[in-house]
Structure 1
Amino acid sequence: MTDPLASSGLVVVDKPQGMTSHDVVSRLRRIFSTRRVGHAGTLDPMATGVLVVGIERGTRFLAHLVAATKSYDATIRLGAATTTDDAEGSVVSGASAASVTEESVLAAMADLTGDIMQRPASVSAIKIDGKRAHERVRAGEEVEIPARPVTVSRFEALAFRRSGEFLDVDVSVHCSSGTYIRSLARDLGEALGVGGHLTALRRTEVGPFLLADALTLSQLEKQPRLSLTLDEALARSYPVLPVTEEEAEALAMGKWLEPRGLDGIHAAVAPDGRSIALVREKGKRLATVFVARPNTL
């Protein structure tokens, strides 16, 4: 029997520079010949790398796809601050970074590592009174977003390059979701007194999804295919709870099971490897959070 979810799942796209996340969604709608395409975790047009996209019923799973951590490779230019904290903005201030030492950069980076308070970039997608911050900035408004707690578990310098009055630093960052790399660039420049902004950004991980999973748009044009089926996506994103065939049938109907003493959300997987649902204990019930394979399919 043909699997009704054979065309549903996730595509991990290696987003090219210059495209918005919505541009990628539009391209994939054409490639996969479906309107049911959506993305998780927006990437700026200048950024490249991992963009997780849901196809068909995979779009329903995106709401339950919680990527607690992300990783990036980036280049920070010290010696100038910009309106957008990246190379697409206009330079607003700066000072020569010719005398900035690698040791001082490493010390300032250490101060920006760990649990910190970070002020998001003014051109972020954060909504202020119902309107996104970047829309307010581009309309000429002054935007100041309050600092919020984030965790930067890794902020490492990979290479230093001097270019006239500038010092370019290639960095690797592993951080909590909600951390802005352009804000790290801005804050690093401010700490050193010379200004800083982002000149390159590549996302290498979103939760359990890696660049190794990613396909380019040209690869997908030649051969449309999923990076992970919906079965694989659920099992990779959450701890697996093996269930019997009878229990799988009950969950497919939205019924609840007896509690097992579980902590958090689990992917209920049938004996044949089908991921039936996401489940969570609520009181005396093991209830469904998301049914991937409803019995109505």
Structure 2
Amino acid sequence: MLLHGLLAINKPRGKTSTEVLNTLRQFFRNRTNSIVNKKKLKLGHGGTLDPLATGVLVIGINDGCKELYKYIGCNKVYSATGLFGFATDSYDSCGKLSKIAPVKHITKEMLSFTLQKFTGDILQKPPLYSALRMEGRRLYDYARKGIALPKSIEPRAVKIHSLSLLDFTTSHDYKPPTTTDTMLLEAIKTSEKNSLLNNPIFKIHVECGKGTYIRSLIHDIGIELNSAAHVVELVRLQQGDLQLHRDTVELDECSDLNTIFNAMEKIKLKHNCVATPM
């Protein structure tokens, strides 16, 4: 059976989008008949999700890859949690600690006011650890290999349709990012002595247009408040017309072809993409 259509996966935390594709590809090779092996299986996704992130990842299977452009350029909805006081090189907790900043001055009222500045049409500088290309090479390639950028990363116009504060609290279990920098380590030890590791976290709900980096948004909010911040949790709740849980399946459920086919059939009902076996 050779499937054509779209599948929405709830991407697990810790996996890259490419690793999800590879998992699906291996499953199809192991479970389907020889037709799949004789014909090249086409898999693609409609927009990368960070390894840290969970949530909606739209997968194109064979002819379904032709429909992915609709999801690359569509609006998206996220829930994101940021930790104040620490910046990282990747703008999330997967990166290395790059800065420690004060947090005592930050209030919920200040944060709510600041969020208004990031609503609407804004300029946003993409993070260095991103899949954007510069002179033929991915930005994350420069970062991982320690190669200097040939030019600075230019800010891009993005649109934040709505941005709301869901929570602001010091009651949490998040830890500071890791570092091997001696000065930063000493600063963390000093913070521990002064009980400053109870830095506040904030949770936001974001509805945004294409090309928006939530990591950059959290990072920039920290700067605007004369502090620092990085992402510790990120969930893509919706991508286009596909919603988390309502339209998605778990990756470990994809060991069953019927589950995949039924999930693709649900998406088929929303629009005219094909999800029929051949």
Q: Which TM class, normalised by the smaller chain length?
A: 0.7 to 0.9
Evaluate the alpha carbon distance shift between residue 174 and residue 65 of structure 1 in structure 2; reply closer, same or farther with a 3 A threshold.
closer
2:235 counterpart (184, 194, 202): 202
Match of 1:75 in 2: 81
In terms of fraction of residues, the more helix-rich structure is 2
**Contact residue 40 and residue 51 of structure 1 kept, 8 A:** yes
In terms of fraction of residues, the more strand-rich structure is 1
CA-to-partner distance for each residue in 1:54-97, whole Å, 9 max, x for gaps? 12221233245454201111101111111111111112112221
Residues of 2 paired with 1:111 and 1:64: CA distance? 29
Match of 2:65 in 1: 59
1:175 counterpart (199, 205, 208): 208
Rg larger for: 1
**What 5-or-longer segments of structure 2 have no aligned partner?**
30-35, 172-196
Evaluate the alpha carbon distance shift between residue 106 and residue 8 of structure 1 in structure 2; reply closer, same or farther with a 3 A threshold.
same
Match of 1:136 in 2: 142
CA-to-partner distance for each residue in 1:215-267, whole Å, 9 max, x for gaps? 0012222454232349827x53xxxxxxxxxxxxxxxxxxxxxxxxxxxxxx6
Q: Give the secondary structure class of the aligned counterpart of 1:166.
A: coil
Q: Give the secondary structure class of the aligned counterpart of 1:24.
A: helix
Question: Are 1:213 and 2:247 an aligned pair?
Answer: yes
**What 5-or-longer segments of structure 1 have no aligned partner?**
237-266, 268-274, 277-291
Cα offset for 1:113? 0.9
Match of 1:242 in 2: none
Residues of 1 paired with 2:42 and 2:158: CA distance? 33
Q: Which of 190-199 and 157-166 deviates more?
A: 157-166
Q: Give the secondary structure class of the aligned counterpart of 2:249.
A: coil
Question: Are 1:25 and 2:21 an aligned pair?
Answer: yes
Q: C-alpha root-mean-square deviation of aligned residues, in Å?
A: 2.4
How high is the sequence identity, in percent, across the aligned residues?
Answer: 33
Residues of 1 paired with 2:208 and 2:162: CA distance? 7
Residues of 2 paired with 1:111 and 1:224: CA distance? 44
Question: Are 1:15 and 2:11 an aligned pair?
Answer: yes
Match of 1:225 in 2: 260
Residues of 1 paired with 2:72 and 2:124: CA distance? 21
Evaluate the alpha carbon distance shift between residue 59 and residue 161 of structure 1 in structure 2; reply closer, same or farther with a 3 A threshold.
same
Residues of 1 paired with 2:76 and 2:111: CA distance? 23
Q: How does 1:1-297 map to 2 (within 5 A)?
A: 7-33=3-29, 34=36, 35-63=41-69, 65-143=71-149, 144-162=152-170, 164-211=197-244, 212-222=246-256, 223-226=258-261, 227-229=263-265, 232=268, 236=271
Cα offset for 1:142? 4.4
The letter for the 2-side match of 1:86 is D
TM-score, length of structure 1 as denominator length: 0.73
Q: Which of 216-225 and 194-203 deviates more?
A: 216-225
Residues of 2 paired with 1:64 and 1:76: CA distance? 29
TM-score, length of structure 2 as denominator length: 0.78
How many residue pairs align between the two structures?
237
Q: Give the secondary structure class of the aligned counterpart of 2:170.
A: strand
